[in-house]
Structure formats: C-alpha cells, structure tokens
Structure 1
C-alpha cells in the first residue's frame, strides 16, 4: 500500500501485527480517540459560528478560567472513553479527580482536552494531548495506579487543529503523523517515522519570563541570541506560539528545542506544565522520534509522579540542544 494513502487503521494493524506484545485493543482505542479528535476539529474550525468561543464562569483544578471549548472537548473525550468499554479510568486536566468507568477495560487514559486554549479566541492553532497506560487487572483503578513513570506509557500522542488537522502518535514503535482527509473522514499516514534532527538553530521559549529564569537557562538563551558572534558560531531563530502542541509539532517537523523551564515567578510551582497530561506524553512522542525530554536536570520519562496534577519544568526537542541545557544545569549545580 502506498505510504501516502495508508489509513490510520491499516497502520495500527501493521504495527500490532509486528509486535504481539502490544494489546490488540490498543488499536481500537486509538481509533476511538481519532473519532473524538474529528468532533473537536469540527468545533474548532467553526469557531464563533458554533458559539464555542469565550470563557465560562468556572475554573479548573489549577485555578485557570475555563474556555467553552475546553469543557466541550473534555466532554467529548470522556463520553468517547465511557462508551468504548476499553478504558477503566479517565484523568483529565479539567477534572479534580480521575473518573472511574464502570464498563472497565484494559487501559487508563490521561489527557489535556484542549492545549493552548488561550489561542482559541484569536484563531491560532490548539491541540489535544493524550497518554495511554495499562490499567490494573481485576479491580477498579485507584489514584496511585495513574502515577506511573512516563516510560511505562504504552502509547501517547496529540492532535493539532491548524490549517489541517493532524494526529501524531507513537505506540512505542517510532512516531508517525496522520493528516485528516476531510473528504473521506480518514486519517492518512503522511509523515511516517518522524525523526527530529539532533542539531537545530531554533528555540521556543516565552522570553517575557527571562527575568525569572535560572542561570543555566539564561546562559543558554543568551548564547543563542548572540548567535555567530559568540560561542555557538551560528545564528538562531526564536518561535513561541503559547500552545505546547503547536510549538512541539513544529519541532517534530523541522527540529528545535522547546523550553518551559523552572523559574522564580511563582515559587509554589516547580514548573508550569503538567507531568501527566503534557510533559510525559509529549516526551514519549519526541523520544520515539529521536529527540529528548528533560526537566533540565532529569529525563522526564524517568520521573516518579507524586500527584495527578503535578507540574514540572520541560525542555524537549533536538537531542544535542537538550543535552547542552542539561550540561549547563550540571555545571551550575556543581558550583552552587
């Protein structure tokens, strides 16, 4: 079958046939997620016409004002998992506690229903992030069952709602991208075996927080900005969309480093991004594409989660650049 016309269902069948250790129902679950993604894509594409723009009066567990489309996307995914009978437990950024599914199933699913929702009202790309884990056998999942290190994920991925809708995922056998063909309603394999270049000349960071950065991050960004006039000997470009999905998607397509580092802006938060819904699944996808995900001091996928809404610093993308940032942290920590 020609690679450009390989459907998501065909691709999953091929990957599952090639690795008998993977639960066969994983393919069905990912196809359920793809169906939910199509529903969310329709709402995002209609925007104001669907009445989904603007804020609600409510806040999520992180104290963030909820967008209408945040909640609608959350409801679509929860209903998808409840009706599919494949997921024993559901954890979402928008809900205080995980949700047990009485119909059961072999999987747990954790997700950010609409990443980058601050961009919704201005028609800039947003996305959905998901992580799939094994559920405990023969009993209902407890909170502790969700707190698995990222390396134990059996699949992870994201959808990006941009000029086209794409689904990018990994079941531990490389990272692959699928584009939604609106005429057929099928996701078609358009980016097989994505590989992130080890080197890059592009970084993504919110530079408005520079005064709050730790010294290793400030050093790294300063060197990038000085470009060929300094130790890096080449010029760098900066990009920042304020949607993790959109920023990381660009890095998967052409290389780069994404950084939301630890800072001193709010000392109660060791990081800004959620480990379970954002850092773990995105690091899984990036590392399966040859990149690296780190806090600056430790590989993200090796972290032992402490809480379902835990926040962590995130540095991920092109391997050589991430390793340079880690080196700067080691040098700083060893002298302080």
Structure 2
C-alpha cells in the first residue's frame, strides 16, 4: 500500500552508466565520467535554450564559422559550455567542433579521448522556437598518452567510435546515446535536475512511411534522387522536414522513416559533416537496427580526410534505405 504513495521515478542516467560500465571496452570509469560531463553541459544548454527569448541570446552573433555559416549567439554559448565541461572533466585530450577551424588541443597529457561535436545543430531554428540539438562522437586516441595529439587521433573512421549520441532540446530535453551495445534514451526532469531512462533499447522500425528531405532543392538533385522522391509520393508516404538534423533523425528513429541530404548543385559533396554529424548518427542508427550510407558507401567505413569534410547522407529504416539505394 505504501509503495502506491511514492511510485518510482525511474533509473537516472548516472545509475544507468554505473550499471553498464562493464559493457565498455575500457571499463576504467573514464568513459563513464565523460558521458556525465556531456550530460552536465546538456543541462546547462537546456537552461540557456529555455531562457533565450528572455535574455537576448537569440539571433546572429555577427561572425561566420569555418564553413562560412553565420554563427548564432547560442552556437557560441553552446560551444563554450561543452568545451568547458569537457576540459574540466579531465578525460578529453582534444576536441573537434563545428565552430572551430582547427583541432582544440586541451593540453591534457592524461586524456585518453577525442570528442567531435556539433554543439548546437539546427541553430537557425532558435529564433522560431523549433527543436534543436547537440551531436557528439567519442573516440579513444591512437597516439600514446602524454604525447601531442595528431591528425590520426581526430581523423578516425566512424567504426572506431567508442560512443556516440545526441541531445535534443524540444518539448522535452532528451539524451540519446550508444556505446556499441544498443541505444538508450533519457529524458530530463528539470524539477529534479536529472536525466531518467525513458526509452530503453531503442529500435528503429524496419520499414516506414516518412521521407525527410529539403524539397526546395528538388531541381538541383540528381535525377535518380528525384526519381526516389517521386516514388515516395506515388506510395503516398508522408513528407516531414524540420530542418534540424537531430529533430528529423529522432522522429524517424521513433516512427520509422528515411532522412536524405544528398549532393546538390550548390553542395556537390553534400552539406552534412562526416566527423561530428554523420558518424554519430550512423552509429546510433545501426545500433538501433537501421542503415546509414553516403549513397554508395557505409558511412562508418569512410576514412575522413579533413576535420570538416562533408558527405551526402542517407539514414533511417533498413528497408527504406535499401530501397533508396536501388
């Protein structure tokens, strides 16, 4: 009778990480701490995003990032917050960020991990109150601990990721991540300041009826991609495109669907970045039972050649991606 008066609030992220620590390839507690550091930064960004309209931190910052994209104020804030959390956590030796031209060497001789991140994906949607997110990849460095970080450390194939995930700042804030043993999602409870397990062992439906692509670029797409879109319309699939990669990906992960950002006349190599967008989501999608490709190659098998390398991106339900590849 007493238990009905105080029902369980669920498993916290911290307890879940401790429980699963032995699943990690290197169960020394370092990766566990790193995931906690990312969660902490996510809580701070949750607060900033929810106060953006009140504190005049929306809108453009007045500078461009290395890709020539106009930075938003919250882009800069999120980048600072995550760098600070990762630096103070002590487990990371270097960071690759969408907002920084070069590798950020933290001069941490004991750090064993590299983090590649898009601190605030979909930032153009901030001012119109649409869901945005953070994407991250975690790699174990290949150079000896104590030595200077090298290009080989930060330009690893996606298949070498030890963990990957994203934070979604929407109607609720969620942290979704994988360490190569399935995908789990946690929802943030602001009243308690904790992430709680809300989506255990997430699986993307094998098939779906949602296609996500910016059809405004239709006339600049390759004919075969146009043909696939027409095929989706013939089958009366639903078109859903938010313009925030994390939000579009998350919806399709839950409901089934395919996300497409192909090459176009304007972006012949695609627009999305391999190292800190596509690799992370490809790992999550595969762990959930889906597929991710650049149209020809498995995303996780592509050898990066530069920090901000772009690739076409097709990801989602297995049958839909296979059909698109035909």
TM-score, scaled relative to structure 1:
0.92
- The corresponding residue for 2:248 is 247
Out of 3, 16, 21, the residue aligned to residue 16 of structure 1 is 21
- The corresponding residue for 2:4 is none
C-alpha displacement at 1:219, in angstroms? 1.3
Contact 1:88 1:140 in 2 (8 A): no
Contact 2:205 2:254 in 1 (8 A): no
Structure-2 separation of matches of 1:145 and 1:56: 31
C-alpha displacement at 1:4, in angstroms? 6.4
Unmatched runs of 5 consecutive residues or more in structure 2: 1-6
Are positions 1:295 and 2:282 aligned together? no
Out of 134, 137, 145, the residue aligned to residue 144 of structure 2 is 137
Structure-2 separation of matches of 1:266 and 1:92: 21
Are positions 1:47 and 2:52 aligned together? yes
In structure 2, the CA distance between the partners of 1:20 and 1:55, relative to structure 1 (3 Å rule), is closer
Unmatched runs of 5 consecutive residues or more in structure 1: 228-234, 328-336
The secondary structure found in structure 1 opposite 2:138 is strand
- The corresponding residue for 2:128 is 122
Are positions 1:70 and 2:75 aligned together? yes
Residue deviations 1:274-330, cap 9 Å, x none?
000100001111111001111111110000001000000000000111111122xxx
- The corresponding residue for 2:226 is 218
C-alpha displacement at 1:22, in angstroms? 4.4
- The corresponding residue for 2:198 is 190
- The corresponding residue for 1:331 is none
Alignment of 1:166-205 (within 5 A): 166-205=174-213
Out of 25, 28, 32, the residue aligned to residue 27 of structure 1 is 32
Are positions 1:146 and 2:162 aligned together? no
**How many residues are paired up?**
317
- The corresponding residue for 2:3 is none
Structure-1 separation of matches of 2:61 and 2:251: 30
The secondary structure found in structure 2 opposite 1:5 is coil
C-alpha displacement at 1:254, in angstroms? 1.1
Structure-2 separation of matches of 1:3 and 1:12: 18
C-alpha displacement at 1:218, in angstroms? 1.1
Contact 2:24 2:179 in 1 (8 A): no
Structure-1 separation of matches of 2:46 and 2:290: 28
Out of 101, 106, 111, the residue aligned to residue 106 of structure 2 is 101
Structure-2 separation of matches of 1:279 and 1:70: 19
Structure-1 separation of matches of 2:34 and 2:25: 17
C-alpha displacement at 1:16, in angstroms? 1.5
Runs (4+) of structure 1 moved beyond 2 Å?
17-24
Structure-2 separation of matches of 1:68 and 1:143: 29
Structure-1 separation of matches of 2:242 and 2:125: 9
Contact 1:216 1:325 in 2 (8 A): no
Compute the RMSD of aligned alpha carbons. 1.4
The secondary structure found in structure 2 opposite 1:73 is helix
In structure 2, the CA distance between the partners of 1:3 and 1:320, relative to structure 1 (3 Å rule), is farther
Contact 1:115 1:245 in 2 (8 A): yes
In structure 2, the CA distance between the partners of 1:4 and 1:274, relative to structure 1 (3 Å rule), is farther
Contact 1:87 1:109 in 2 (8 A): yes
Residue deviations 1:188-221, cap 9 Å, x none?
0000000001111111000001111112211111
Residue deviations 1:229-283, cap 9 Å, x none?
xxxxxx210000000000001011111100001122244xx11000001000011
TM-score, scaled relative to structure 2:
0.94
The secondary structure found in structure 1 opposite 2:51 is helix
Out of 158, 166, 171, the residue aligned to residue 158 of structure 1 is 166
C-alpha displacement at 1:59, in angstroms? 0.5
- The corresponding residue for 2:238 is 237
Bigger Cα displacement from structure 2, 141-150 vs 116-125: 141-150
